[in-house]
Chains A and B, each alone.
Chain A
Amino acid sequence: MIDLDTFRSETRAWLASNCPPSMRLPLEDDEDRCWGGRNWKFKSDDQKLWLARMAERGWTAPSWPKEYGGGGLSRDEAKVLREEMRAINARSPLDSFGIWMLGPALLKYGTEEQKRKYLPEITRGEIRWCQGYSEPNSGSDLASLQTRAEDQGDHFLVNGQKVWTSYADKADWIFCLVRTDFSAPKHNGISFVLFDMQSPGVSTRPIVLISGKSPFCETFFDGVRVPKENLVGELNKGWDVAKYLLTHEREMISGIGLSAGRPLGHVAADTVGTEDGLLADPLLRAQIAAFDLDAAAFQLALERVGDLAKAKQGHPAMSSMLKYYGAELNKRRHELLMLAGGSDALEWEGERSRGGDRARSWLRTKANSIEGGTSEVQLNIIAKRLLELPGA
């Protein structure tokens, strides 16, 4: 165990010599993100190199144990790594539902065999996961899901449909909630299973969203055979795994309200101009300043919730507060970006607008308060679990 200052200086030095310069430039668009997986085509040699170097150190999943491909860092060390990466604007080497969502659930509920099988390839970016949760008739009421998995001795036979499956058409494997007991109360008949998206009977259909893009799919299961060893946690206790994973999903989504990039006040100056160093549109300036106050405070709250957890003073439902607030903030940020951009921000095609990037991103954020549990569901959770209000 080395002290934090030494760790910081070593980390800084390592990043300085190992993070390729092109991996320190702001992301131009979603295409610049590295998702990895069996069929991944690296956008550049630097992207590939950066992933390989970080994975080698276990730093794609810094706080996971080393034996599963993680970095084995303490919370404080992981924080130092984040800070040092931010200081040089280093891009994330790997964006991964495996790291953000499945991994934490496997670490808690998986068997030793499952951990050894799945976690290392997640950290190396060799496998891309998608999440099979929502169904056409099970949105906010997720536990009412109907996708069925019948016990066939050595395997389950899965039939049903998922929806809003992010990147299902690009994913290699899916972690999926299925009903294994139809007679039990809805929360008690759900199991959590993993399977290969290339299994016979799996098909996907992208859904075109208001942004014109298709990050989500409908996913169909028609007699898919899932080996029994792919069950995570106990049979019919999948809801516990699902909920645990959802807290990680909420934390992931709550972080997006902080999306880096140029300060809003400076972006707005491009279109509305300045007078004596202040934004020339005083009402827009006031709105941006009010946003900045809330965004800065929210960033500190994210930090504090982590510190509270470490000091054993936290509450798991605080992730609902962060998810709720982060999602609403990100929507607000993009409304302001549109307001600041005026008619320039309305262009939908062409080079000048980079394919309508600002407008498409704005539309995309509208899902923030729906995905991973709507804002209203988060408020229900806060009312029930933190405030203990009756009937909540």
Chain B
Amino acid sequence: MALVLDEQQAMLQESARNFLADKAPVAHLRKLRDSRDADGFSRDLWKEFAGMGFTGVLVPEEHGGLGLGNVEAGTIMEEIGRNLTPSPFLSTAIVGVSALLCANGERKSELLPKIATGDLLMALAVDERAKHGPRQVALSAKRSGNGFALSGTKTFVVDGHVADLLIVAARTGGAPGETDGLTLFLVDPKTKGLDVERTIMVDSHNAARLTFDNVHVDADAVLGEVDGGWSVLEAVLNVGRGAVAAELVGCGEETFGRTVSYLKERKQFGRAIGEFQALQHRAAHLYSEIEITRAAVLKALQQLDQKPEKAAPFVAIAKARAGKTATLAVQEAVQMHGGIGMTDEIDIGLFMKRVRVAEELFGDANFHADRLARLKQY
């Protein structure tokens, strides 16, 4: 399969590009931040996402969606990255939907159409520590009555404070560090004993900490198999990682484009600073990193669509490269912009903040380098 977008994918990207640049450019994020908006995203905009079909991009057609794949979802993520649009697209339309696709038929028919219409928001609660570690899940789910009682904490739950339904990774067996004994639950955030604390993050995007104190869920809240949640969780996380990598490509490329423009505009010593070879070579190096990363990310997304069972190494390469490349892009952007790059007035700093968060999300470059090494058996 060629490592370029096909015509339909390119058209979808273009419509996402035009739509987001028009409806939700960086100024949209600034407005939500500066007004200390309670939701941290625009519900009106989310309805428009639904109108465009974006919320249902991964939802099968029989459930009211577009029935497209990760490459298509990735084109939307890239544009979200370009515009720093805060929205529950990742948590709901990508991570939420790919988790629900592993649920039983009844659940799917009930929930997927609601996502497609923009009437249901979801969030995945997996991490409990400051660094990503899905094997380290300790939150306990003990059998109780006709279901389970959940106790423990979750952190860095993206869109956790606005979600209508949470996907919670919990331990029904085994010990932290083991992959056996994990179970996924669908939990109503209003359930008694569950405390949701919105965490204001550096990037002005949404996240929450959750505290579970004997939260009771029925047996039918289990998504997939009891003790067998790992394979679903891994698959869902890989989809999420690929999507975040695509967002990072968008962030990196937008930042780079703005930086190259600045190099052509800004004059010092009587000439454009882009005439200085010290900066030209750094820009040319960064260009190379971005192009190489773009290939890796597209490959991962294609692999998630074509051969998901063999996607893991490609996803690790993509997420690691995307995090590193976007980090380089924002660092070079601030340096090359000089003092103005340090001001809140221009957007470069907002990209730097978002990239730092996206780099942590679902595993940083070191996490994925380690994963690749393990997959290659060394």
A residues less than 8 Å from B272 (CB atoms): 390-391
Q: Are B274 and A289 in contact (CB under 8 A)?
A: no
- Closest beta carbon of chain A to B135's beta carbon, Å: 15
Chain B residue nearest to A296 in the complex (CB): B317
B residues less than 8 Å from A386 (CB atoms): 284, 287
B residues less than 8 Å from A324 (CB atoms): 284-285, 288
Q: Are B280 and A389 in contact (CB under 8 A)?
A: yes
Q: Are B373 and A387 in contact (CB under 8 A)?
A: no
A residues less than 8 Å from B291 (CB atoms): 301, 304, 318, 321
B residues less than 8 Å from A382 (CB atoms): 284, 287-288
A residues less than 8 Å from B190 (CB atoms): none
Q: Are A265 and B373 in contact (CB under 8 A)?
A: yes
B71 in the interface (beta carbon within 8 A) = no
- Closest beta carbon of chain A to B93's beta carbon, Å: 26
B268 in the interface (beta carbon within 8 A) = no
Q: How far is it, in angstroms, between the C-alpha of A35 and the C-alpha of B369 when the chains are bound?
A: 38
Q: Are B374 and A303 in contact (CB under 8 A)?
A: no
Interface centre among A285, A310, A311, A376 (most CB of B within 10 A): A311
- Closest beta carbon of chain B to A50's beta carbon, Å: 31
Q: Are B378 and A303 in contact (CB under 8 A)?
A: no
A380 in the interface (beta carbon within 8 A) = yes
With contacts A279-B378, A300-B295, A390-B274 taken as known, whether A293 is within 8 angstroms of B287 at the C-beta atoms is no
Q: Which of A266, A286, A313, A378 contacts B369 (CB 8 A)?
A: A286
Q: Which of A368-392 contact B (CB under 8 A)?
A: 376, 378-380, 382-383, 386-392
Chain B interfacial residues counted at CB < 8 A: 43
- Closest beta carbon of chain A to B335's beta carbon, Å: 16
A residues less than 8 Å from B366 (CB atoms): 286
Q: Which of A288, A308, A387, A391 contacts B260 (CB 8 A)?
A: A387
Q: Which of A28-82 contact B (CB under 8 A)?
A: none
With contacts A265-B378, A278-B378, A285-B378 taken as known, whether A304 is within 8 angstroms of B287 at the C-beta atoms is no
B residues less than 8 Å from A310 (CB atoms): 2
- Closest beta carbon of chain B to A359's beta carbon, Å: 23
Chain A contact-residue range equals 35 or more
A residues less than 8 Å from B376 (CB atoms): 263, 265, 292
A234 in the interface (beta carbon within 8 A) = no
Q: Which of B1-27 contact A (CB under 8 A)?
A: 2-4
B146 in the interface (beta carbon within 8 A) = no
Q: How far is it, in angstroms, between the C-alpha of A311 and the C-alpha of B5 when the chains are bound?
A: 10
Q: Which of A262-287 contact B (CB under 8 A)?
A: 263, 265-266, 268-269, 274, 277-279, 285-286
B43 in the interface (beta carbon within 8 A) = no
A339 in the interface (beta carbon within 8 A) = no
With contacts A387-B283, A389-B274, A391-B275 taken as known, whether A297 is within 8 angstroms of B288 at the C-beta atoms is no
A residues less than 8 Å from B57 (CB atoms): none
With contacts A274-B378, A297-B295, A383-B280 taken as known, whether A313 is within 8 angstroms of B4 at the C-beta atoms is yes
- Closest beta carbon of chain B to A274's beta carbon, Å: 7
Q: Which of A288, A297, A318, A379 contacts B293 (CB 8 A)?
A: A297
Q: How far is it, in angstroms, between the C-alpha of A388 and the C-alpha of B260 when the chains are bound?
A: 9
Q: Which of A268, A308, A383, A392 contacts B4 (CB 8 A)?
A: A308
Q: Are B284 and A383 in contact (CB under 8 A)?
A: yes
Chain B residue nearest to A318 in the complex (CB): B291
With contacts A266-B378, A285-B373 taken as known, whether A300 is within 8 angstroms of B296 at the C-beta atoms is yes
Q: Are B280 and A289 in contact (CB under 8 A)?
A: no
With contacts A304-B4, A307-B2 taken as known, whether A278 is within 8 angstroms of B284 at the C-beta atoms is no
A residues less than 8 Å from B298 (CB atoms): 300, 304
Q: How far is it, in angstroms, between the C-alpha of A286 and the C-alpha of B275 when the chains are bound?
A: 37
B residues less than 8 Å from A192 (CB atoms): none
Q: Which of A274, A286, A311, A380 contacts B280 (CB 8 A)?
A: A380
B residues less than 8 Å from A303 (CB atoms): 3, 295
Closest 4 CB pairs of A and B: A265-B378, A391-B275, A382-B284, A383-B280
Seed contacts A292-B372, A382-B287; 10 additional CB < 8 Å A-B pairs: A265-B376, A268-B378, A277-B377, A286-B366, A292-B369, A300-B317, A303-B3, A318-B291, A387-B260, A388-B264
Can you give 25 contacting A-B residue pairs, CB < 8 Å?
Answer: A263-B376, A265-B377, A266-B377, A277-B377, A290-B369, A292-B372, A293-B372, A294-B292, A296-B296, A296-B372, A297-B293, A300-B295, A301-B292, A301-B294, A301-B296, A303-B3, A307-B3, A308-B4, A382-B284, A383-B284, A389-B264, A390-B274, A391-B275, A392-B274, A392-B275
Residues of A at the B interface (CB closer than 8 Å) are 263, 265-266, 268-269, 274, 277-279, 285-286, 288-290, 292-294, 296-298, 300-301, 303-304, 307-308, 310-311, 313, 318, 321, 324-325, 376, 378-380, 382-383, 386-392
Residues of B at the A interface (CB closer than 8 Å) are 2-4, 260, 263-264, 271-272, 274-275, 277, 280-281, 283-285, 287-288, 291-296, 298-299, 313, 316-318, 320-321, 365-366, 368-370, 372-374, 376-378
